[in-house]
Amino acid sequence: MTFNLSTILAVGIGGFIGAVGRFYVGVQVVKYFPHELPLATLTVNIVGSFFIGFLVALFLIFTPSDIVKGFLITGILGALTTYSTFAIESYMLLNNNIWYGILNIVLNVVGTILAAGTGYKLVSYFIR
């Protein structure tokens, strides 16, 4: 990826969209699915992982510019997914309730890998 003003702006604008999307999803998930587990973080990590798998596979077929890749993957998806939040939430859960901590880690790690693979396979299946 090239480091120039256009790419920086694309990543920044994408980051803004992803961060606002992350905030909105978090508010909605907590509102409708309140739980001790951090389901908002789990939701954005799985959705973001699906779309990164989808886009990486798509970009193997249709090569976009660095600006488009930076906007979508680094910007939007980088700000949408929240592994730093996942890390501290898991740490706190492990300290308070080890079983919820373990469940949160397993669901996030396995769920995001499955979602990324599903997105990738979906493109591979439909676009040959």
Q: Name the percent of the chain in helix, strand, coil, to the closest 5.
A: 85, 0, 15
The answer to whether residues 86 and 108 touch, using CB atoms and an 8 Å cutoff, is yes
Give the CB-side neighbour count of residue 78, counting CA atoms within 13 A.
Answer: 14
The domain ranges of the chain are: 5-126
Predicted local confidence at residue 56, as pLDDT: 93
Predicted local confidence at residue 61, as pLDDT: 93
How do the pLDDT tens digits run along the chain, 128 residues long?
789 999 999 999 999 999 999 999 999 999 999 999 999 999 999 999 999 999 999 999 999 999 999 999 999 999 999 788 899 899 999 999 999 999 999 999 999 999 999 999 999 999 87
